[in-house]
Amino acid sequence: MSFWQGKSVVVTGGAGFLGSYVVEQIRARKPGRLLVPRSAQYDLRKEGDVVRMYEDSDADVVIHLAATVGGIGANRRNPGRFFYDNAIMGIHLIEQARLSGVEKIVVIGTVCAYPKFTPAPFKEEDLWKGYPEETNAPYGLAKKMLLVQTQAYRRQYGLSGIFLIPVNLYGPRDNFEPAVSHVIPAIIRKCIEARRQGAESVTAWGTGRPTREFLYVEDAARGIALAAERYDKPAPVNLGSAREISIKDLVKLIAELTGYEGRIEWDASQPDGQPRRKLDTSRAREEFGFEAQTDFREGLERTIRWCQNNCSWARG
């Protein structure tokens, strides 16, 4: 807790899904000041706004979560915007952090930065062993360049910057809008709506064969706070749950938990994405004592319950 005492902390993207939980973690640690910049006031794609944000906050610690994100469909529709927005925000924030004398910057990357055919479990050393899966490569590569920047700035300027790679996240407060949602909220919404409408089937993308690892959002936020406190090395660090599930089994489980009893049909004309995703999480455990705590089924039940209580389309 002494790490945060008297410090001015900025959490970009702190009003978003993951960010709201990170803000709760940091607030509980009682920093001297906590700022959550909003896009209406500071457009982080503009260098002048980033400069002004640092002047207004007098930041000691920056946790950079702000990102332009979405599922496979959103990535396919907006590859240029996903690359530019994510690269330019991070570049400005890291550059101005070193010019402003920030003590530490924590940059959140993405599992999409890993090569498409990385052997599972993904080790941090595998990041440069191939090209990312094509549907989200622009987003993944933009984020990976921020790892290069933090490492380069540590060597040349002595900036304390760390880079964390969370696996796919899920939990309450996620985005359930079909145009941008990731796989878990997308399937939850399809199953709830299909049950309410009495639909005989729901359609899922791809073949169902790929596997994914999912991390409950509160666990991810706790891992980020621990890393900010305890980790200060150039090597990137995976944050995950060390649990892998096929998309087919995931859809079956969500159907069960939402009470949907119809057929699951698979649209193989749509992309599967990366064949496997499972992280080696040993570095996070060894370096700053992080391990996921939330059981996957329990996490899904909490997510579905939150959705049923808070989403107008789920309540009818």
Q: Which two tokens stand for residue 113?
A: 């930065």
Q: Which two tokens stand for residue 47?
A: 């260098």
pLDDT of residue 316: 67
Predicted confidence (pLDDT) per residue in 164-186, tens digit: 999 999 999 999 998 778 899 99
Q: Where are the beta strands (DSSP E) in 142-281?
A: 161-166, 168-170, 201-205, 211-216, 237-239, 244-246, 263-267
Distance CA 186, CA 181 (A): 6
pLDDT of residue 233: 98
Structure letter (DSSP) for residue 132: B
Q: Which two tokens stand for residue 183?
A: 């796989």
Q: Could you tell me the pLDDT band of residue 75, with boundaries at 50, 70 and 90?
A: confident
- The residues pairing with 61 across neighbouring beta strands, listed in sequence order, are 9, 104
Does residue 66 have a pLDDT over 90?
yes
Q: Which two tokens stand for residue 207?
A: 């073949």
Q: Which two tokens stand for residue 214?
A: 């999912």
3-state secondary structure of 162: strand
184 neighbors 303 (Cβ within 8 angstroms): yes
What is the 3-state composition of the chain as percent helix, strand, coil, each rounded to the nearest 5?
50, 15, 35
Distance CA 35, CA 10 (A): 5
Predicted confidence (pLDDT) per residue in 120-161, tens digit: 999 999 999 999 999 999 999 999 999 999 999 999 999 999
Average the pLDDT over 214-218 and give the result: 98
Is 139 marked active-site?
Answer: yes
Distance CA 17, CA 180 (A): 13
- List of residues 6+ apart from 286 with CB closer than 8 A: none
Does residue 72 have a pLDDT over 90?
no
Distance CA 217, CA 19 (A): 9
- Annotated active-site residue in 21, 54, 114, 139: 139
The count of other CB atoms within 10 Å of the CB of residue 219 is 22
Distance CA 105, CA 11 (A): 10
Does residue 237 have a pLDDT over 90?
yes
Does residue 97 have a pLDDT over 90?
yes
Predicted confidence (pLDDT) per residue in 257-279, tens digit: 999 999 999 999 998 888 899 99
pLDDT of residue 180: 78
pLDDT of residue 4: 97
pTM: 0.95
- Domains, the chain: 2-171+214-243+275-293 (3.40.50.720)
65 neighbors 13 (Cβ within 8 angstroms): yes
Q: Among 154, 78, 67, 59, which Cα is nearest to 109's?
A: 67
pLDDT of residue 265: 96
Distance CA 24, CA 134 (A): 35
Predicted confidence (pLDDT) per residue in 10-45, tens digit: 999 999 999 999 999 999 999 999 999 999 999 999
The CA-based dihedral angle spanning residues 224, 228, 234, 238, taken in that order and rounded to the nearest 10 degrees = -20
Distance CA 49, CA 151 (A): 24
Distance CA 91, CA 66 (A): 12
Predicted confidence (pLDDT) per residue in 110-123, tens digit: 999 999 999 999 99
% of the chain residues with pLDDT over 90: 91
